């Protein structure tokens, strides 16, 4: 969407400029550039390619749907509406797999004997302390 500007060599816009002046709104729908400036004159007069129908039809529908906003003078709202209506569908992001919840920590039963606590750490500590005594 553009307001005003020159014709840029476009004869149709030159004609509109002569009749309305240059301060009018333009909705630009284009087929792109053919890649070689020598092909431009004939290229711009061609119809859209059949492959363009996939994006062209939804775009024209979106412009038609949003046109009342443009007619009210809400250019930003018009452009936003067209953008929203033509945006590709959002892909759902897969939720990251939840980490398995650790089993509730159960306190180890107190294991004491006449010789004291049991377990590998207790044994290692006893061995280290025994060496210091020797």
* pLDDT band at 36; cut points 50, 70, 90: confident
Selected residue with higher pLDDT from 104 and 35: 35
As given in the structure block, the two tokens for residue 41 are 């004159």
pTM comes to: 0.55
Buried b (16+ CB within 10 A) or exposed e, 120-132: eeeeeeeeeeeee
The domain spans of the chain are 1-46, 48-89
Please tell me the distance from the alpha carbon of residue 124 to that of residue 134, in angstroms, as a whole number. 16
pLDDT for position 113: 46
Higher pLDDT, 28 or 78: 78
pLDDT of residue 9: 81
Mind listing the pLDDT tens digit for each residue in 49-74? Answer: 788 888 889 999 999 999 999 999 99
Of the pLDDT bands very low, low, confident and very high (cuts 50, 70, 90), residue 114 is: very low
Sequence-separated (6 or more) residues with CB below 8 Å from residue 27 = 1, 63, 70
Query: Quick one: what percent of the chain has pLDDT higher than 90?
Result: 25
């Amino acid at each position: 969407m553009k307001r005003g500007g020159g014709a840029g060599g476009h004869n149709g816009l030159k004609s509109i400029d002569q009749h309305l002046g240059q301060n009018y709104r333009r909705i630009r729908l284009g087929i792109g550039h053919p890649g070689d400036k020598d092909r431009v004159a004939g290229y711009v007069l061609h119809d859209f390619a059949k492959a363009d129908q996939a994006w062209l039809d939804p775009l024209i529908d979106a412009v038609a749907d949003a046109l009342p906003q443009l007619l009210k003078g809400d250019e930003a709202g018009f452009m936003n509406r067209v953008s929203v209506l033509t945006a590709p569908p959002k892909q759902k992001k897969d939720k990251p797999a939840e980490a398995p919840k650790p089993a509730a920590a159960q306190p180890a039963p107190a294991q004491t004997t006449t010789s004291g606590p049991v377990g590998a750490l207790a044994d290692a500590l006893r061995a280290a302390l025994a060496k210091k005594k020797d």
